Structure 1
């Protein structure tokens, strides 16, 4: 039977189910529930805005958006968002998905923490960004009714999400904190990683090898 939550259908195509299995295998309940809430909150905002979007691509983007935090997909030197995007690209290419769709999913995942950019791109990219912002920081919180929020959370519980997700972020890039330079995840390192000192862009400019 088709799963419908808060009047949003969760895609159940072969491609979508295989992507979900990857998250089940390599993620945990925290990422599973969060990724589904991201899809649902993103789709709900898309419906409100009357945007046309590809639900399957949006769902797959949501499933992969934090997979770069897991040991299986984490690289030694790339941002976790890029690791997740690369994993999704490889998965989709192996299934013969057209290049334009692959690029769209890659952008949605790679840019999902990029404030001031992602929301101005294609609907799938903007809605992953909005879904993440809604679930993690409560952005546009009142834009979705309490009744609908409760339906989503009943299906995919938060379970002390506020505290657990920050530690999950850190564990995903503890071995490569330098990849948080210039992005919001440096805040996580500053809060939770002992001895961490964020790189200063101003220092990079003032101490560059240029003479003037």
Structure 2
């Protein structure tokens, strides 16, 4: 049965269903609901602007975007965004998805926190970033109607999301805080990780091995 939420259709192809099954298995309600809200906000914005986008790829990108935070998919030495992107790539390749589509999903997941760049990428990549920004920090909040927001949150509740998501982020990379250097995730380590000392780019430049 087709599922519509705030007039947005949840993709129900075999590929989309298998992606959802995998992600649901490895995420808790916090990340599952967040990922679905991201897709819905992203798709809604795309529809508002009459943008042409691949809903299936946008959905899969949204589902996988935080999967790198989870125990099954987090690495010891890569940014969590890259871990999620690699998981999406492996999933799609195992099902014979064309490489161009895989690259699009990889970029959407890997770049979703790279503010100032990701919004200028391909439509699906930029739209997913829109959904992430709206759901996490309320960016462009007013661009989605109160009625639509209510329907989306009713379907995928926030359940104290603001209080819980920062700790979920930290749990995904507290064992490798060095991977957050130069990203917004360093803010999380700075606030929540005891003993963390934030690297400074100026220090790296001034204390490089160049003799001058």
Is TM more than 0.5 here?
Answer: yes
Structure 1 segments (4+ residues) deviating >4 Å: none
Instruction: Give the aligned CA root-mean-square deviation in angstroms.
Output: 0.5
**Alignment partners' CA distance in 1, 2:22 and 2:196:** 32
**Alignment partners' CA distance in 2, 1:206 and 1:42:** 42
Task: Report the equivalent of 1:147.
Answer: 147
Task: Report the equivalent of 1:84.
Answer: 84
5+ unaligned residues in a row in structure 1: which ranges? none
5+ unaligned residues in a row in structure 2: which ranges? none
Deviation at 1:22, TM superposition (A): 1.0
Task: Report the equivalent of 2:190.
Answer: 190
Task: Report the equivalent of 1:29.
Answer: 29
**Alignment partners' CA distance in 2, 1:120 and 1:167:** 29
Task: Report the equivalent of 1:203.
Answer: 203
1:2-13 pair list within 5 angstroms: 2-13=2-13
Deviation at 1:48, TM superposition (A): 1.1
Deviation at 1:97, TM superposition (A): 0.3
Deviation at 1:23, TM superposition (A): 1.1
Spell out, residue by residue over 1:86-136, the C-alpha distance to the aligned partner (whole angstroms, 9 max, x if none).
000000000000000000000000000000000001010001100000000
**Alignment partners' CA distance in 2, 1:111 and 1:5:** 26
Q: 3-state SS of the aligned residue for 1:71?
A: coil
**Alignment partners' CA distance in 1, 2:94 and 2:66:** 20
How many residue pairs match? The answer is 212
Task: Report the equivalent of 2:138.
Answer: 138
TM (normalized to structure 1)?
0.99
Deviation at 1:21, TM superposition (A): 0.8
1:158 is aligned to 2:175: no
1:51-200 pair list within 5 angstroms: 51-200=51-200
Deviation at 1:49, TM superposition (A): 1.4
Deviation at 1:43, TM superposition (A): 0.6
**Alignment partners' CA distance in 2, 1:141 and 1:191:** 25
Task: Report the equivalent of 1:45.
Answer: 45
**Alignment partners' CA distance in 1, 2:127 and 2:65:** 12
Q: 3-state SS of the aligned residue for 2:188?
A: helix
